[in-house]
């Protein structure tokens, strides 16, 4: 018989407002095995924790039930509290009477009644709890960063600085990501390349960083501290170790009509190419979709001109397998496709461009050499219309995204400002729903655009853009002026919403990391654990977790790195003790459990058992490796004899909860 203490938390008024905490602690005091029951304003406060510890000692408690907020919030806290008082931390159960009771009910009577039942269920469970001791597993002291944009680079640099080896896997031929395509950065207007390329070089030169460009993660196995990752190194048909990046091949390649993705298809590149001058690694890559040699077997120009002999048409994809202790997802974002927004005539006129395309058109290294020219006729535009929130903040429907893409207001202000600065003869209109500028020096920046640079900010949505006689007829409403506007524009720039990179979803599946409905990675806790995924050992960096600007990204990248460093600096990890275990006396050895185990934690041995009349029976029985088992419980249901059970969530415990709830 356990001696159980019950501690009911008011959570200020969060619980106490809809749950009569006194009634709950009184009711639970009458439950079998409960020797102490009380309520307190903030159980998680130091005073509350002290109270729990004192009670454990005074009453010799063998079990503790805390009726409070979600166990996802403070289970760990209370476990630690009890451990300090000498009670096994797994003798603690939390009854969630805040998120799943007080916050969802308005009627105090109902809330109180439910809280008592939830408390009873927790008490019933604690009766069957057994002290558990966590095992240990070693940590592979190497990290994997998936994605080589600014987020990935910064994370890798920080981890490497702390002395741990780190691999960056980047699907493109070069690291750098979206930031390489950006011209200037807000609100300081310094050149993106100037601040990014040194970091890229740092990454390349850091002894602890190993860049696996033009590579993709193929599969992930294992668990925190012990991941095994298979990485596909795509064939680039150029020997990375030999290529000097001289670029001769990219000049001689006869296949000149390949849309240049670095410039978003605004110009062309060759079939063998280096994405841009500062690429890291600065190695040429053959695009197999366009290379005549690879497609027809005839050409071989690049091979002839390459003095280093780096060209290898026979190169194959290579799969490499590596061990990591931690994985950081930094898969970044993309602007959404404009297919569904043809009211802005994106598909009809080349002069309707997205903001990222506009970045390229303004960039000195871009297709126009930094001169703003209309893509259609190469003339200088005089009237520009910027449309905000294209695909952002769309509630419902399939057209856009429900969220705010966060960066558009600022980069549009930047674009408008830069346009007006370079070409004061232009008229610049910005149509917006709201202008959101919550950031250091952000609002000042925006106001400069309006006040100093004379950008016309108009609150209202653009209804339609119609290309007509070389002009773009923009129909819009001015909400403040209460009138319909018609503007004959030369160019229209769409602030396309951003969305997570398409590779994130399959990656999340491999990592068993959860995602939200928009395919952004879910953080373990939105406030308290913003850079960790709920899956232990998987961390989040940059826009894959949610829309971010560069400063936020870099900050989060550093935070993720700090978490990784914290993990890798441990020699041993404490395992989850809530693992499966097999009762050998009942095990049939049928292998059903082994088949459903996602971690390969179950093996079989032949073991001798005492049979009747002093005989020995040899039976095949399952054994669980507690360091590998993650405690999902799939095996417990696959097992027909019930030999397999899960510590901490045993059949008996769950059924006791069921009984208490249904009573």
Partner 1 sequence: MQVNQEFKPTIVAFCCNWCSYAGADLSGTNRLQYPANVKIIRIPCSCRLNPMFILRAFQRGADGVILCGCHPGDCHYTTGNYYARRRMTLLFSMLDFLGIERERTRVEWVSAAEGAKFAATMNEFVETVTKLGENKRLEDLRCKS
Partner 2 sequence: MQELIKAKAVELLENGVCDRVLGWKAGEFFYDVTPAVFRSREEIEKDFVFGPFCGANMSKYLIAESRKEGKIAAFLKPCDTYSFQQLQKEHRIRRENVYAVGVQCEGMCDIDAMKAAGIKGILGADGDGGTLTVHTLYGDKSVERKTVLAERCKCCKSKKLLGCDEIIGGQGEELESNRFAQVEKLEAMTPDERFAFWRGELSRCIRCNACRNVCPACSCEKCVFDNPASGVENKAAANSFEENLFHVIRAFHVAGRCTDCGECSRVCPQHIPLHLLNRKFIKDINELYGDYQAGADMDTRPPLVNFQTDDPEPSVVHERGSEQ
Partner 3 sequence: MKKCPVSQLDALFASVAARQKLYIPAGEAKTAAFQPWQEGMKLTDALNTVRSAKDLFFPQVENLVNFKVTGKQIEIIENRDPSEPFVVFGVRACDCRSFDILDKVFLCDPVDTYYKTRRENGVIMTLACTEPEETCFCTAFGIDPTDPAGDVSCWMDGENLYLRANTEKGETLLSELPMLSDGDAPAADKTVFDRLPLKNLPLDKFGGEHMMELFKYEKWAGLAESCLGCGACTFVCPTCQCYDIREFNTGDEIKRFRCWDSCMYSDFTLMSAGQPRPTQLERFRQRFMHKLVYYPSTHDGEFGCVGCGRCLQKCPISMNIVKVAKTLGEETT
Q: Which does 619 bind (CB under 5 to 8 A by kind): partner 2, partner 1, partner 3, none?
A: partner 2
CA atoms within 13 A on the CB side of 28: 34
3-state secondary structure 412-453: HHHHHHHHHHHCCCCEEEEEECCCCCCCCCHHHHHHHHHHCC
Residue carrying the six token digits 């951003």: 498
Residue closer to partner 2, measured from CB, 243 or 592: 592
Burial of 159 (0-12, 13-18, 19+ CB in 10 A): buried
3-state secondary structure 304-330: HHCCCCCECCCCCCEEEEEEECEEEEC
The answer to whether residue 485 forms part of the interface with partner 1 (CB under 8 A) is no
Q: Which among 34, 173, 19, 154 has a CA at the least distance from the CA of 98?
A: 19
Strands 352-354 and 491-496 come out as parallel
State the DSSP string of 319-383: EEEEEESEEEE---EEEPPSGGGGGG-TTT-TTEEEHHHHHHHH-TTSTTTT----TTT-PPPSE
Helices 408-422 & 442-451 angle (0-180, nearest 10): 40
Tell me which stretch binds partner 3 (CB under 8 A): 275-283, 339-347, 350-358, 655-663.
655-663
Peptide bond into 93 cis (omega under 30): no
Binding string, residues 623-642; x marks residues near partner 2 by CB under 8 A: ---------------x-xxx
User: Whole-number minimum distance, CB 213 to partner 1, in Å?
Assistant: 28
Residue closer to partner 3, measured from CB, 527 or 614: 614
Q: Which does 588 bind (CB under 5 to 8 A by kind): partner 1, partner 3, partner 2, none?
A: partner 2
Residue closer to partner 3, measured from CB, 124 or 435: 124
Judged by DSSP in three states, 530 sits in: coil
- Sign for the CA dihedral angle at 44, 47, 53, 54 comes to negative
Judged by DSSP in three states, 217 sits in: strand
Q: Which does 32 bind (CB under 5 to 8 A by kind): partner 2, partner 3, partner 1, none?
A: partner 3
Q: Which among 255, 257, 259 has a CA at the least distance from the CA of 298?
A: 255
The answer to whether residue 70 forms part of the interface with partner 1 (CB under 8 A) is yes
User: Whole-number minimum distance, CB 540 to partner 1, in Å?
Assistant: 14
Tell me which stretch binds partner 1 (CB under 8 A): 37-45, 96-104, 453-461, 489-497.
96-104
Q: Which two tokens stand for residue 339?
A: 């297919």
Please identify which residue in 198, 254, 595, 600 interacts with partner 2, judged by CB under 8 A. Answer: 595
Span 644-663, contacts to partner 2 by CB under 8 A: 651-652, 655
Span 557-586, contacts to partner 2 by CB under 8 A: 585-586
DSSP 639: -
Q: Which does 104 bind (CB under 5 to 8 A by kind): partner 1, partner 2, partner 3, none?
A: partner 1
Judged by DSSP in three states, 594 sits in: helix
Please identify which residue in 32, 150, 184, 440 interacts with partner 3, judged by CB under 8 A. Answer: 32
User: Whole-number minimum distance, CB 2 to partner 3, in Å?
Assistant: 15
Residue closer to partner 3, measured from CB, 408 or 660: 660
Please identify which residue in 4, 7, 77, 113 interacts with partner 1, judged by CB under 8 A. Answer: 113
Residue closer to partner 3, measured from CB, 434 or 659: 659
The answer to whether residue 493 forms part of the interface with partner 1 (CB under 8 A) is no
Q: Which does 118 bind (CB under 5 to 8 A by kind): partner 1, partner 2, partner 3, none?
A: partner 1
- If residue 497 lies in a helix (H) or strand (E), which one and from where to where? none
Summarize as ranges the residues that interact with partner 1 (CB under 8 A): 70-72, 96, 98-101, 103-106, 110-111, 113-114, 117-118, 121, 508-509, 512, 514-517, 522, 534-535, 578, 596, 598, 630-634, 636-638, 646, 649, 651, 654-655, 657-659, 661-663
Summarize as ranges the residues that interact with partner 3 (CB under 8 A): 32, 612-613, 659-660, 662-663
Summarize as ranges the residues that interact with partner 2 (CB under 8 A): 585-592, 595-596, 604, 617-620, 638, 640-643, 651-652, 655
């Amino acid at each position: 018989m356990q001696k159980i203490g019950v501690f009911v938390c008011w959570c200020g008024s969060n619980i106490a407002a809809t749950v009569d905490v006194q009634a709950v602690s009184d009711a639970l005091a009458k439950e079998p095995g409960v020797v102490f029951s009380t309520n307190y304003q903030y159980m998680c406060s130091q005073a509350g924790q002290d109270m729990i510890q004192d009670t454990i000692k005074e009453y010799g408690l063998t079990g503790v039930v805390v009726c409070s907020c979600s166990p996802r919030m403070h289970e760990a806290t209370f476990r630690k509290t009890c451990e300090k008082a000498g009670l096994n931390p797994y003798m603690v159960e939390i009854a969630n009477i805040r998120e799943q009771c007080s916050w969802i009910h308005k009627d105090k009577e109902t809330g109180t009644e439910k809280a008592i039942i939830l408390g009873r269920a927790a008490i019933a469970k604690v009766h069957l709890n057994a002290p558990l001791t966590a095992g240990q597993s070693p940590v592979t002291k190497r990290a994997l960063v998936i994605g080589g944009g600014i987020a990935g680079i910064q994370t890798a640099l920080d981890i490497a600085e702390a002395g741990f080896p780190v691999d960056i896997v980047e699907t493109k031929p070069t690291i750098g990501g979206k930031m390489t395509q950006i011209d200037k950065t807000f609100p300081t207007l310094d050149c993106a390349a100037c601040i990014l390329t040194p970091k890229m070089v740092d990454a390349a030169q850091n002894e602890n960083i190993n860049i696996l460009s033009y590579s993709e993660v193929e599969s992930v196995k294992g668990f925190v501290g012990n991941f095994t990752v298979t990485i596909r190194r795509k064939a680039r048909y150029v020997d990375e170790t030999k290529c000097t990046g001289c670029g001769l091949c990219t000049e001689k390649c006869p296949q000149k009509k390949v849309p240049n993705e670095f410039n978003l298809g605004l110009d062309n590149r060759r079939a063998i190419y280096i994405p841009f001058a500062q690429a890291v690694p600065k190695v040429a890559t053959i695009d197999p979709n366009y290379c005549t040699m690879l497609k027809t077997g005839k050409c071989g120009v690049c091979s002839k001109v390459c003095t280093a002999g780096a060209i290898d048409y026979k190169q194959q994809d290579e799969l490499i397998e590596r061990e990591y202790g931690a994985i950081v997802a930094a898969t970044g974002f993309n602007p959404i496709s404009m297919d569904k927004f043809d009211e802005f005539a994106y598909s009809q006129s080349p002069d309707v461009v997205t903001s990222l395309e506009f970045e390229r058109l303004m960039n000195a290294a871009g297709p126009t050499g930094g001169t703003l020219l209309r893509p259609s006729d190469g003339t200088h535009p005089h009237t520009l219309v910027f449309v905000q929130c294209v695909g952002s903040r769309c509630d419902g429907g399939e057209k856009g995204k429900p969220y705010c893409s966060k960066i558009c207001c600022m980069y549009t202000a930047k674009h408008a400002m830069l346009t007006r600065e370079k070409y004061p003869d232009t008229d610049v209109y910005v149509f917006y729903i709201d202008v959101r500028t919550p950031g250091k020096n952000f609002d000042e920046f925006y106001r400069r655009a309006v006040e100093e640079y004379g950008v016309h900010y108009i609150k209202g949505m653009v209804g339609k853009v119609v290309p007509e006689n070389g002009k773009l007829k923009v129909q819009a409403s001015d909400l403040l002026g209460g009138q319909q506007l018609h503007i004959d524009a030369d160019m229209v720039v769409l602030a396309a919403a951003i969305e997570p990179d398409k590779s994130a979803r399959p990656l999340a599946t491999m990592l068993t990391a959860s995602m939200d409905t928009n395919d952004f990675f879910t953080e373990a806790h939105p406030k308290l654990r913003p850079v960790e995924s709920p899956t232990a050992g998987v961390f989040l960096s940059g826009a894959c977790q949610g829309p971010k600007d560069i400063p936020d990204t870099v900050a989060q990248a550093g935070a993720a790195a700090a978490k990784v460093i914290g993990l890798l600096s441990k020699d041993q990890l404490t395992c989850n003790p809530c693992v499966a275990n097999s009762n050998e006396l009942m095990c049939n050895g049928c292998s059903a459990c082994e088949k459903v185990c996602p971690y390969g934690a179950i093996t079989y041995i032949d073991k001798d058992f005492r049979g009747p009349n002093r005989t020995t029976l040899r039976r095949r029985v399952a054994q669980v490796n507690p360091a590998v088992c993650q405690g999902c419980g799939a095996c417990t249901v696959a097992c027909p004899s019930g030999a397999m059970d899960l510590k901490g969530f045993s059949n008996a415990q769950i059924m006791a909860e069921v009984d208490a709830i249904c009573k």
